[in-house]
Structure 1
């Protein structure tokens, strides 16, 4: 008899409507058959965590010099490669481990989020409390996505036509702006433009969490009434 958790994890309806989804999928499908056999899903997951550590180090060290921000930018590319390909290569080679992969992948997503936003908060460009607002918003939305898997059988991978890949591009753009504009005084005294941007993104994520929670609650209530 199949394990119930395995069956549920394998039958998740993945909802991905971000702008770059189709192009990214074509690229991943092109890369998968060209990877050597020693490049395993577990190694790719570890590679993604290495990229997240590079991002953290680049931001945290940027107080010693703006050139450290290039380490963070390189880290985003490495983190994308590992995070996007670990599941793709498992599906391509038909060696999926649904429950294990689901657990490890999303656990690593939480660690990655912590490393990125803690690094941004430890940088001289964004206040730590503002970065924590953004982290709260992202993790709340992640919690919503994980709960939806179990109550709706749906994994929502994008919001407002944006997913993790689009968010990486936004963060790379933010990092380039940090490098170009520096840490000079902001228009609002102690609050810089970077603080406003990161804080606004965090608030948008929190609002999305509230809206999506209300939406799913209504759908569940409607299902209950129809029984």
Structure 2
């Protein structure tokens, strides 16, 4: 697959990218306690190692450890080896730690740029798919295919909505229970599966007939999703009569396995609440629109082209392609969602309108048309073709966008310019933002640049 013949980013977008300022707020419960670990870890990283290299290294570890789990349990029903679950927990911890220090390394070396923010979010969009899938395999959710579908797409949707909210408000917001808390919860799930075996989640909770431990995960998922989505949509839904119709009137069971589902649903409800709060405050664009001056609801269209076909194809499959190959199915549609999310991040950083259609949708279209024409080709093979197409399309898009930005900013993607090493100011501060970006430190660094 060749690169695009035309530039993906216009001169106007690149100019607005230069003007982009990273804005983030965080009230995470766990981040303050992890700051000492992150600060110590980044102090051991050599100054010649580029921040983006740290990010991609963490993502690679996360993907490889998850794929080992997928290899042993592709249907999420087979009990994966305990060591594979423990390895997955370690891989996620490595990814989480490296993802937290890439920004710190950029400040240490004086190589902060919009490219670093884009690269970090792009890797996160891919990692979200693998992390959600690994958690489902660790608790053998393949026995509950609809629940597994919901669980994975909840995670993907929350990540997309977080950046949708950013597209509207201009600020990336992390709640009290957010990414870090979710990652360590899943690390805990992998550790429990590694110590006691994945079958532990089938244990029934005493005095609650038919309620398995894994159901707690489902409950946590629902609660956290609704809470965070509420917070995010509160920012989006209060847009004014801005460009492109930005105004929207809004009226004022007993086994151990089931128990885990409850915990996750609770967490998702919290995410939903936070999401809606942000939307209610309106966009930062003209008359309450997005930063690009577009409708605050416009990003829902491209994402619906991912989720809706995924559900329809799953339900209409005569060969039960999703039930028989859930990991492959989630990865295929997860890569499509990652591509759409990356385009949303680019639209936010370049203050540009987001296009509705995307070449990655050709993959799901293959499956849909194959069903429409009465399964001309075996669905399993079409699913593999879909995964290959969307993965190559995602890599092609991300590569070209990064290369265009590198060329515009005159920087290297994975290399630090000679003589560019610089140790930043003290890593500690009483005012700490996400992943250790503290306001005091940031102001000092900006003064040094000037």
Scaled by the length of structure 1, what TM-score is found? 0.80
What SS does structure 2 have at the residue aligned with 1:156? strand
Q: Judging changes above 3 Å, is the alpha-carbon distance between structure 1 residues 192 and 88 closer, same or farther for their aligned structure 2 residues?
A: same
Among 82, 100, 125, the residue aligned to 1:66: 82
Mapping of 1:119-134 within 5 angstroms? 119-123=134-138, 125-127=140-142, 128-134=145-151
Q: Distance in 1 between matches of 2:112 and 2:31?
A: 21
Counterpart-to-counterpart distance in 1, 2:34 and 2:48: 23
Say if 1:117 and 1:135, in contact at 8 Å, map to a contact too: yes
Alignment match of 2:94 (pick from 67, 78, 83): 78
Structure 1 residue 23 corresponds to structure 2 residue 33: yes
Q: Residues 131-142 of structure 1: matches in 2 within 5 Å?
A: 131-142=148-159
Q: Deviations over 1:158-190 (max 9, x none)?
A: x3x22322222211221222232541645476x
Residues 145 and 224 of structure 1: CA distance in aligned 2, closer, same or farther (over 3 Å): same
One of 139, 142, 147 as aligned partner of 2:164: 147
- Tell me the CA shift for residue 221 of structure 1: 7.8
Partners of 2:31 and 2:68 lie apart in 1 by 28
Higher relative contact order (CA 8 A, sep 6+): 1
Q: Tell me, yes or no, if structure 1 residue 3 matches structure 2 residue 54.
A: no
Please state which structure has a larger fraction of its residues in helix: 1
Equivalent residue runs for 1:166-205 within 5 Å: 166-179=181-194, 180=196, 182-183=198-199, 185-187=202-204, 192-194=212-214, 196-205=215-224
- 1:79 shift after superposition: 0.8
**TM-score, normalised with respect to structure 2:** 0.43
Determine helix, strand or coil for the equivalent of 1:39: coil
User: For structure 2, which runs of at least 5 residues remain unmatched after alignment?
Assistant: 1-11, 74-78, 235-276, 289-450
| Cα distance change, pair 55–167 in 1 and its aligned pair in 2 (3 A) | farther
Question: Which stretch shows the higher mean deviation, 197-206 or 15-24?
Answer: 197-206
**Structure 1 gap ranges (5+):** none
For residue 36 of structure 1, report the CA deviation from its aligned partner. 0.9
Matched, 1:43 2:63: no
Tell me how large the CA RMSD over aligned residues is.
2.9
The corresponding residue for 1:89 is 105
CA shift at 1:48, angstroms?
A: 1.2
How far, CA to CA, are the matches of 1:221 and 1:164 in structure 2? 23
